[in-house]
Structure 1
Amino acid sequence: MTRVGIYPGTFDPITLGHMDIIRRGAKLVDKLVIGVTTNPSKNPMFDVDERLAMVRREVADIDSAEIEVVSFGNLLMHFAEQVGASVIVRGLRAVADFEYEYQMAGMNQQLNDSIETIFLMADVSLQPIASRLVKEIAIFEGDISKFVTPAVCAEVVARVARNKA
């Protein structure tokens, strides 16, 4: 039986913190489905197709499990059921993340108690990284190269420049 896990998120943009959780989460399952959410309320910098391409490129060299990158725009538990997931992988950075994630895990358990949520603590050096902050730093012309890969850095910088033009 193949153990399928999902790692959902906006990935706008994908950061080194996300990559850490993906690498570690992929070791826990046979197949990791990275679900790129289409939640328009977050006002993303990149559209869903751009984010899918970005994530696929960044995870291409991870070989510890089969990795699939897909978009979804429905309830997380419905998405988990659709892909046959038995595990949801979530990353935690700080106490505020825990409080939110704990509440979400409880609600998700009420919807389907056969799908477990696993929390992975972010690597200490990556804990402060958040996509929202990466975008904010880039908008104000700060250096984001410590937080994302070189390819993602170039994409974010180019998008900021395009948006300012």
Structure 2
Amino acid sequence: MSDSTLSPRVAVYTGTFDPVHYGHLDIIRRGSQLFDKLIVGVGINPDKKTLFNIEERVQLIRDVTSGRGNKADTLSNVEVLSFEGLAVRFVRDSGARIMLRGLRTLSDMEYEFTMSLMNLAQDPQIETLFLMAKEEFSHVSSSLLRQIAALDGNLSKFLPEPVRTALAERARR
């Protein structure tokens, strides 16, 4: 895709989302209000072992952004797609100029800053935009939620119902 066809009104939010939680959903909701279209790119990180396969992760995000069970949660300008390879390449292939990222902590900032510089070196036309996590989500991570599920803890504060059910069932295996 040429530089002139990249839209500043389209953003892409990438991650592994294993599982998607309220912190992710807050970034998705806020991003959908800032851009005409937000693409959630569900990727594969070779450094992470996932609990859910990529198709399951895509479907869980679609379920909770399409308003399944609650029309108030419908985000009509959000599209959820899987991808392989470099996130910055997926952003360009999606026709977007903006890569959206969420930041929870100072350690996230250091990692994401380094990644944004590397992405900029890979594709100078793609800009990274950071949204700070709301305070109530700043401690939430998918890896911690998987541990809580494995120990049969209460996940209701952190996960929407369809994701909570799927995680609880997977943790029992």
Taking structure 1 as the reference length, what is the TM-score of the superposition? 0.93
Q: Which position in structure 1 is the counterpart of 2:38?
A: 32
Report the more deviating stretch, 56-65 or 25-34.
Answer: 56-65
1:14-163 equivalences under 5 Å are 14-61=20-67, 62=73, 66-161=77-172, 163=173
Query: Aligned partners of 1:128 and 1:60: how far apart in 2?
Result: 26
Task: State the Cα distance separating 1:41 from its structure 2 match.
Answer: 3.6
How many residues matched? 162
Corresponding residue SS for 2:39: strand
Taking structure 2 as the reference length, what is the TM-score of the superposition? 0.89
Residue 31 of structure 2 aligns with an amino acid whose one-letter code is G
| Runs of 4+ that moved beyond 6 A | none
Residue 11 of structure 2 aligns with an amino acid whose one-letter code is G
Query: Aligned partners of 1:143 and 1:105: how far apart in 2?
Result: 35
Change (3 A) 1:109 1:147: same
Q: RMSD of aligned C-alpha atoms?
A: 1.5
Report the more deviating stretch, 87-96 or 2-11.
Answer: 2-11
Structure 1, unmatched stretches of 5+, are none
Q: Percent identity?
A: 40
Change (3 A) 1:2 1:114: closer
Task: State the Cα distance separating 1:95 from its structure 2 match.
Answer: 0.2
